[in-house]
Amino acid sequence: MTNERSFHLSLLPNEYLILKLAADAETPAWASNGEFFSVTRTRDELSIVTSFKNVPAQMNSESKWRVLKVHGPFALNEVGVLATLAAPLSKAAISIFVISTYDTDYLLINEQQCDAAISALENEGHRVTSSSATP
């Protein structure tokens, strides 16, 4: 089955970690190293997404993640981009962690489910390629 709307995504080459620190924690210098990272502070937490190779060995993490970049840009008022991509992943019981930027979206997929996620997206008519380029 294919979707009427399809997107091109690129699988970024590195493995990433998603970490949660205390809301009042200092942002570690290593958190913002590399070509792709995200640091978000709220009243409740400090969330960090960064390359696996950046994280000190003593920091525990649930698992490694892979990043699928959705090729944009998309207008901020464009409706349905994430829904179109999340639906086939939800059907395949694949959880995602999403980071949105001004121009596009990034889907983080647990490394162990990456191949299944790519298959689910391609079965819906989306195109997924590997990327060695900068996000």
Q: Report d(CA 65, CA 14) in Å as an integer.
A: 9
Of all residues in the chain, the percent with pLDDT exceeding 90 is: 79
With 60 as the cut, is the pLDDT of residue 2 above it?
A: no
Q: Report d(CA 10, CA 59) in Å as an integer.
A: 28
Element (H, E) at 83: helix 81-91
Kindly list the structural domains of the chain, giving each domain's residue range(s) and its CATH number in brackets, ordered by start: 8-130 (3.30.2130.10)
Amino acid at 62: E
Of all residues in the chain, the percent with pLDDT exceeding 70 is: 93
Determine the average pLDDT of the residues in 110-122. 97
Q: What is the predicted pLDDT for the residue at 36?
A: 95
User: Half-sphere exposure (CA, 13 Å, Cβ side) for 102?
Assistant: 0
When pLDDT is cut at 50, 70 and 90, the band that residue 61 belongs to is low
When pLDDT is cut at 50, 70 and 90, the band that residue 21 belongs to is very high
